[in-house]
Chains A and B, each alone.
Chain A
């Protein structure tokens, strides 16, 4: 195994612990506050967040295709699949920002919200903001590796390492979506 791949795996483990700390703390807050806000109705919040989940999962599949194309040494196909992955990441961010602005319009901020339990804003914007930052970094990382790989400066291993990061971002969302959104559904 190459040092780049091992380094990425070790980074992923350390980042897993960061998100674990945030989500464990959130879970504790959620369970110990019976009046935790439930501001997410089916339309638009749950429909949007479910669509975001499917888009992020689809971008993971396109990344798998990019890695497979890179292993076949098909540079054009690799770059196209990576562009598709970036498009998925940007779509996810666009939908997420729309969801954020919707909450801003309802009066929710990081320190205050109209539904009580002020921790809600800090938890929601803190965890989803942390995740969105990872998505943004992932899109930039994809752009750099796709450009470099297309020009022959990067190897198939670089694409695979890039893929590990992208799948990790997807994996984290698999916990954020049910814990943050589905645990606060407005019936």
Chain B
């Protein structure tokens, strides 16, 4: 890698302070999740809240620790919509099949 490219590369990404702040945020959200686990919520509501908080944590990790925020937007367009589409397809097709199998179980 030449000097110019190296210097350009070295400036990519968040500062050390920002990364530490993100880490503190991730630990804080983890603490909130543990707190919520001891609130007697309905399983469906609990699952929805926990998945929502996990998605926030995943976005923080991908954006800052994995530098996706600082990459070319074309990479985000290549990866994220395809991934979301595939996960949505799983959620659409898993459940009817799963319900069908449930109805087939021996009584």
Residues on A close to B: CB < 8 A?
1, 6, 9-10, 13, 16-17, 20-21, 24-25, 27-28, 30-32, 46, 50, 53-54, 57-58, 60-61, 63-65, 67-68, 71-73, 155-157, 160, 163-164, 167-168, 170-171, 174-175, 177-179, 182-183, 185, 187
**How far is it, in angstroms, between the C-alpha of A157 and the C-alpha of B57 when the chains are bound?**
25
Determine whether the beta carbon of B16 is less than 8 Å from that of A179.
no
Residues of A within 8 A of B16 (CB): 65, 68
Residues on B close to A: CB < 8 A?
1, 6, 9-10, 12-13, 16, 19-20, 23, 26-27, 30, 33-34, 36-38, 40, 43-44, 46-47, 50-51, 53-54, 57-58, 61-62, 65-67, 71-72, 75, 79, 82-83, 86-87, 90-91, 94-95, 98, 102
Residues of A within 8 A of B91 (CB): 24
Determine whether the beta carbon of B79 is less than 8 Å from that of A9.
yes
Determine whether the beta carbon of A175 is less than 8 Å from that of B58.
yes
Residues of A within 8 A of B1 (CB): 155-157
Determine whether the beta carbon of A174 is less than 8 Å from that of B58.
yes
Across the interface, name the chain B residue whose C-beta is closest to A34: B43
Determine whether the beta carbon of B47 is less than 8 Å from that of A179.
yes
Q: How many contacts A-B (CB < 8 Å)? A: 129
The 9 A-B residue pairs with the shortest CB-CB distance, nearest first, are A182-B37, A178-B50, A71-B10, A174-B57, A167-B65, A61-B23, A185-B37, A175-B54, A167-B66
- A/B interface sample: 7 pairs, CB < 8 A: A13-B79, A28-B95, A60-B23, A60-B61, A65-B19, A170-B61, A182-B50
Residues of A within 8 A of B54 (CB): 174-175, 178-179
Determine whether the beta carbon of A167 is less than 8 Å from that of B46.
no
Residues of B within 8 A of A67 (CB): 13
